Structure 1
Amino acid sequence: MATSRKFVKPSTPPNSEINVTPLVDVVLVLLIIFMVVTPLLEKDIEVRIPETEDVPVEQMPQDNSQLIVKLDADGTYSINTEPVTPGDYVNKLKRMLAAKSKEDRIVFFVADDKANYGKLVAAFDGAKQAGAFVLGMATEDIPAGAAAPEGEPGAAPAGDPGAAPAPAPAP
């Protein structure tokens, strides 16, 4: 008994094109997701950046009443070029700030690049405990004579171009 095979021919030829309808649906869903999520990713951090102005050294007023705390790489503190032990730091700073009005209680910090970050934070906390109203960071090392009054040891001559006062804090 021999059976013959019969082939069924499809009524339409096979379609070799890509069906783009599901692709468009997926792309539109992704577009909507990104449109909703993108505004949530934008978070602003408010940073007060002081305005800078190039002033020739001859015109810069010498303010000898500024308090400048310097932290060396070995962790030693100095207030206006006078070394201070960590135990006496807050008390000495408190005595120096007590003579000033609240708005004039400004302390600038200069830290060595290799200084311990924890000691710098401790210096900030100590200044706040001592009654500092404004804390400022100097980005460049302040010359030794800039903080000492004229006539005292370490004072810079009046015409020294390297002696610049510390930058003023931003309001």
Structure 2
Amino acid sequence: MSARRSGGLVPEMNVTPLVDVVLVLLIIFMVVTPQLEAGAAVDLPAVVNPDKGEENSLTPTTVSLTAQGALFVDKKEVPRARFAEQLRAVHEKDPEARVVLKADRGVRYAEVRGVFKTLQDIGFPGISLQVIDLKKQE
């Protein structure tokens, strides 16, 4: 109970509801944040000095190549037979669209190069390979 002081009640602060709400929000953000990453989840290769990304307001199209060989265009799996067709449609819609290629580190270089060549043949003006910084990983 609260103590009386000069005839009135002294309010006590109860922080338990505030802590409960903050913890629930923290848990929600911890669950949602990994879902915000573009493309499929792949184990990216690490390099020592990655290039700084271009400061672009336009969101690039993300093409992901998983260790199992599955291709994704912006988190949506695409069969290999329809891969080039789907990317041509993206290129026709926006000829200046940028593409980020994310390939799992377990994928053979020849496969990554093949996907990169397909993107070049379609005519995308800028194709970036996504990697992680080796220095930050240690």
Output one character per residue of 1:137-168: Cα deviation in whole Å (capped at 9) or x when no partner: 1114xxxxxxxxxxxxxxxxxxxxxxxxxxxx
Q: Describe the SS at the equivalent of 1:50.
A: coil
Alpha-carbon separation, structure 2, partners of 1:61 and 1:107: 12
1:62 Cα offset (Å): 7.1
1:112 maps to 2:104: yes
Alpha-carbon separation, structure 1, partners of 2:56 and 2:115: 27
Aligned equivalent of 1:68, options 41, 62, 74:
62
> Using a 3 Å threshold, how does the CA distance of structure 1 residues 134 and 87 change in structure 2: closer, same or farther?
same
The answer for unaligned runs of 5 or more in structure 2 is 1-49, 133-138
Alpha-carbon separation, structure 1, partners of 2:121 and 2:111: 15
**Partner of 2:51 in structure 1?**
50
Aligned equivalent of 2:85, options 66, 91, 99:
91
Contact 1:89 1:126 in 2 (8 A): no
Letter in 1 for 2:67: A
Letter in 1 for 2:51: P
Letter in 2 for 1:139: V
TM-score (norm 2): 0.53
Larger radius of gyration: 1
TM-score (norm 1): 0.43
1:52 Cα offset (Å): 6.4
Runs of 4+ in structure 1 over 4 Å off: 60-63
The answer for unaligned runs of 5 or more in structure 1 is 1-48, 54-59, 141-171
Q: Which has the higher strand share?
A: 2
Sequence identity (%)? 16
Output one character per residue of 1:28-82: Cα deviation in whole Å (capped at 9) or x when no partner: xxxxxxxxxxxxxxxxxxxxx63469xxxxxx9875x421110100111101011
Note the aligned Cα RMSD (angstroms).
2.5
> Using a 3 Å threshold, how does the CA distance of structure 1 residues 61 and 52 change in structure 2: closer, same or farther?
closer
More relative contact order, 1 or 2 (CA 8 Å, 6+ apart):
2
Q: Which has the higher helix share?
A: 2
